[in-house]
Structure 1
């Protein structure tokens, strides 16, 4: 599945897009100033998204990549 495919599926399942997850991550303390904190691990994000949104590993890792900055809304 493409990165865009992951984002579309996540939006359909949760009603939340990239900006929503960035805001929620900041509120949860995973990011500061839009940057992923060094103490935040992929497993922390996966567990949060699994618990709060019932996302699977692949979809949660897509959000992690978004938060980490390795992917954005325009990535393939």
Structure 2
């Protein structure tokens, strides 16, 4: 499955686009400019997304990769 396919599935499940996840992470104080703050760890993002959106580990890690700059939409 491509990274973009993960993002598409997440959007179908949650109704949230990648930009929405960036905005929500900013509102939660998790971002430092365009990337996650260095102190923010994957498990913190995974816990948030599992609790708030019911995402599984793999889909939550895709959002972590997006927010941390490891991947981008279209990959």
Gaps of 5+ in 2: none
Give the corresponding residue for 1:51: 51
Give the corresponding residue for 2:67: 67
Moved more, 31-40 or 57-66: 31-40
Equivalenced residues, count: 75
Question: 1:53-72 CA distances to partner (integer Å, 9 max, x unpaired)?
Answer: 00000000000000010111
- The aligned runs of 1:1-76 (5 Å cut-off) are 1-75=1-75
Note the C-alpha offset of 1:36: 0.8
Gaps of 5+ in 1: none
Alignment RMSD: 0.8
Is the CA contact 1:49–1:55 (under 8 Å) kept in the aligned structure 2? yes
Greater relative contact order: 1 or 2 (C-alpha under 8 angstroms, separation 6 or more)?
Answer: 2
Query: What's the TM-score once normalised by structure 2's chain length?
Result: 0.95
Distance (Å, rounded) in 2 between the aligned partners of 1:55 and 1:22: 16
Note the C-alpha offset of 1:43: 0.1
Runs (4+) off by over 2 Å:
none
Is the CA contact 1:50–1:56 (under 8 Å) kept in the aligned structure 2? yes
